[in-house]
Amino acid sequence: MKSKILVFIQFAAIFLLALPLGTPTKNLGLGIFFIILGLAIGILALRKNTLGNFNIRPDIREDCTLITDGIYGYIRHPMYASVLTGTLGLTLLYANTFTLSVYAILVVNMLVKMFYEERLWHCEGEAYKEYSQNTARLIPKLF
């Protein structure tokens, strides 16, 4: 149930951020840059993942495989990074109190989702523990 709630909050926030609420700011170029960067990160992650291995919920599938190469060799959660980067671009396009608040909720939600997923992966064995010691969560060399 926790996974479904986290995914619901994620998609609700993305939906609200995608609505053109307000007047676009002078951050058009920067907003588009982050949207494209987010899409690129997502494409790199999907190129390394298979459809049967991919799960939108943070629950670990029984037959899933830990991917440690490609973009996954640098960050453990490239799909989360993709969502946060792309929606940062949307937030910059319509920067106002509402979009900044929704983005803050999305960031907190994604962090809760990420830490929950990592706890589940750590229960799967030593491979993830070793992998997590050699990669960042979202931003190489920083976090």
- If you average pLDDT over every residue of the chain, what do you get? 86
Query: pLDDT band at residue 49, thresholds of 50, 70 and 90?
Result: confident
In a domain, 139, yes or no: no
Span 105-110, average pLDDT: 96
Chain centroid to CA 38: how far? Answer: 9
Domain count, the chain: 1
| pLDDT digit string, tens, across residues 65-88 | 778 888 988 998 899 999 999 999
Query: pLDDT band at residue 52, thresholds of 50, 70 and 90?
Result: low
What is the C-alpha separation between 43 and 29, in angstroms, rounded?
21
Residues 6+ apart with CB under 8 A from 120: 58, 59, 60
In a domain, 99, yes or no: yes
Q: 8: domain range?
A: 2-134
